[in-house]
Structure 1
Amino acid sequence: MHHAVRTLLEEMPREELTVPQVAARAGVTPSTIYRRWGDLPALLADVALQRFHPDNGPADMGSLRSDLQTWAQGYQEEMSSAPGRAMTRDVLASNDARSPACQCAAITRSQIQMILDRAVERGETPPDINIVMDNVVAPLIYRLLFDDAPIDPAFARSRMAMLLDPGR
């Protein structure tokens, strides 16, 4: 089903996508989709969630600062891309009781936690994960959702610098 959705989205605008089209491409009946996902937004959110799962853990650049800045820059680039923005909209449009938005937050938290755990293993003192979420992730997502102005490519890095160097 996911492959059918991704393929169709490459061929047509999201607004034109329908459950019968996805079902036909996947070789199932529309009722199969309705039984499993309930509606098209829930299916789109499920497909989007799969894209939120990174292929591997965050890069180990040798220090907490480098790891967090590299991760934040990559996160900003992914989320501010056209597919990233579409994924975010799909996740938020879903009425799925399993809360795709919370699942996205859990994926993001796990990536950050890997970086923080690695820093502790190196003898560094990392900030609390909620501080990273509140000071870096939240402002970025807010800007992506509620502002159509382009985001400065250095936005996430500057937020991370403010977090790590509060006196700056």
Structure 2
Amino acid sequence: MTALVAERGADQVSLSAVAQRARVNPSTLYRRWGTLAALLVDVAERHGDAGAPPPVGDLRTDLENQAAWTLTELSRPGGIAFFRAEIAPDIDERHTGLRECLRRVSDRFAPVLDASRERGEMPPSLEQVLDRIVAPLYFRVVFSIPGTDEAYVRGLVAELLGKPERR
């Protein structure tokens, strides 16, 4: 499934194409998932955060690492296609997909912030991280804005934390 999305893009993939690639009857996929968007959400969820960097115990470094990993995942072949698929044409599916996407991203950053609080620090809120780090990454990847790289990620984190960027 992931390879097919990477080759064609999510908008050019159908449940029938997935079934053909998997060498199963399309009705099997329709019974299990019903829609392509549901299948893509399931694949993204199963992929989860495999390969995400473990926390190191420094807020700035942990935020930079999680943000850089998020950027890498979005930028990989097919990565943004899964996000786009969560924005399904059906309004209920769209809301479900977007909530799931937000949950996955929140689950990636919340432990970093929680650990920082446990160390007695005053980290930004999860909402601030989503607004000031995650949202710009998604926006820039969706619109293919040049310069969206690890240096950009470090700058977002530095700006959020109100500290000059390390050199």
TM bracket, shorter-chain basis: 0.7 to 0.9
Is the partner of 1:42 in helix, strand or coil? helix
Could you tell me which residue of structure 1 aligns to residue 29 of structure 2? 33
| Percent identity over paired residues | 35
Q: Between Structure 1 and Structure 2, how many residues are aligned?
A: 161
**How far apart, CA to CA, are the structure 2 residues paired with 1:130 and 1:69?**
16
Which amino acid in structure 1 is aligned with residue 15 of structure 2?
Answer: V
Contact 1:45 1:93 in 2 (8 A): no
TM-score by length of 2: 0.78
Please state if 1:68 is matched with 2:63.
Answer: yes
Could you tell me which residue of structure 1 aligns to residue 80 of structure 2? 85
Which amino acid in structure 2 is aligned with residue 139 of structure 1?
Answer: P
Is the partner of 2:121 in helix, strand or coil? coil
- Aligned partner of 2:18 among 10, 19, 22: 22
Could you tell me which residue of structure 1 aligns to residue 100 of structure 2? 103
Contact 2:64 2:153 in 1 (8 A): yes
- Relative to structure 1, the CA distance from residue 45 to residue 57 in structure 2 (aligned partners, 3 Å threshold; closer, same or farther) is closer
Contact 1:58 1:111 in 2 (8 A): no
Is the partner of 2:50 in helix, strand or coil? coil
Structure 2: state its 5+ residue gaps: none
- Relative to structure 1, the CA distance from residue 60 to residue 42 in structure 2 (aligned partners, 3 Å threshold; closer, same or farther) is closer
4+ residue stretches of structure 1 with deviation over 3 A?
A: 6-10, 14-18, 24-28
Query: Can you list the C-alpha shifts for 1:63-91, whole angstroms capped at 9, x where unaligned?
Result: 11111112112212221233322222222
Question: What is the Cα-based RMSD across aligned positions, in Å?
Answer: 2.7
Query: Can you list the C-alpha shifts for 1:85-104, whole angstroms capped at 9, x where unaligned?
Result: 22222222364377122111
TM-score by length of 1: 0.78
